[in-house]
Amino acid sequence: QVLRDYGTPARPDVVASFGLHRYAWPACLLFTIPWFLHRRVPYLPPERVWYDRTAGRMAVRPDSFACLPDDPAAALPGARVVPDEDALRAEVRAAVAEHLEPLLAGFGPRMRRRGRAMWGMATDEVVEGLHYVAQLLGEQERARRELELLLPGTTRPFVGSTAFREPAGPGETASPARDRVSCCMFYTVRPEEICAGCPRTCGTTRAPKLTAATAA
């Protein structure tokens, strides 16, 4: 797929990184979208998710979910009622971590990364996936606020925070962006296209690129 999409082969660790991303990005949305839109958090261990890698489709079989006391679904079978928003955020983190943990353990050696680097990647998948969908819904500002509360940077096993920022270019304000916790390794197949939020670059080189992208 990398050869087809980019016209060049990639290192084995890069292929593994791309493969995990293509699963983890939509998989995290299985938890964050119901939470963001309906204040419900499904419990979906890996064995309850079916993934067609070729078609990019998922099917799930939820067993139970967490919700708030005033949710009409609180009386349904399988509902687990938690007291408040903070407790519900903890359920999001726990459900995502339970789902991703065996995947990160399996992909880690192939990606030549270990614990903190892998959980930093998990933070990026959660944040960037929901923020992208919220932009489509016109709710990116609310998503930023919600994500900052969900992942403030001190919630293990996740590493890093949302790191949203609004850098200013010469004479104008650039689009809101964030600094990634992990490197997606895209630069290894397209060296001239380093991501604007890549942790391998410094803030002074990112801002002009973001401003140029906004102007384009």
pLDDT tens per residue across span 137-190: 999 999 999 999 999 999 999 998 888 877 655 543 455 678 888 887 777 888
Is it the case that residue 98 has pLDDT exceeding 90? yes
Residue entry with tokens 């949710």: 71
Domain locations in the chain as residue ranges: 2-158, 163-216
How large a percentage of the chain has pLDDT more than 90?
Answer: 58
The pLDDT assigned to 209 comes to 44
Per-residue pLDDT tens over the stretch 46-88: 999 999 988 889 999 998 999 999 999 999 999 999 999 999 9
Is it the case that residue 91 has pLDDT exceeding 60? yes
Residue 136 tokens, joined: 């489509």
Highest mean pLDDT, choosing among 6-10, 40-44, 109-113, 176-180: 40-44
Helix (H) or strand (E) holding 178: strand 177-178
Q: Is the pTM of this model over 0.75?
A: yes
**All residues at 6 or more sequence positions from 159 whose CB lies less than 8 Å from its CB, including other chains:** 116, 117, 119, 120, 122, 123, 181
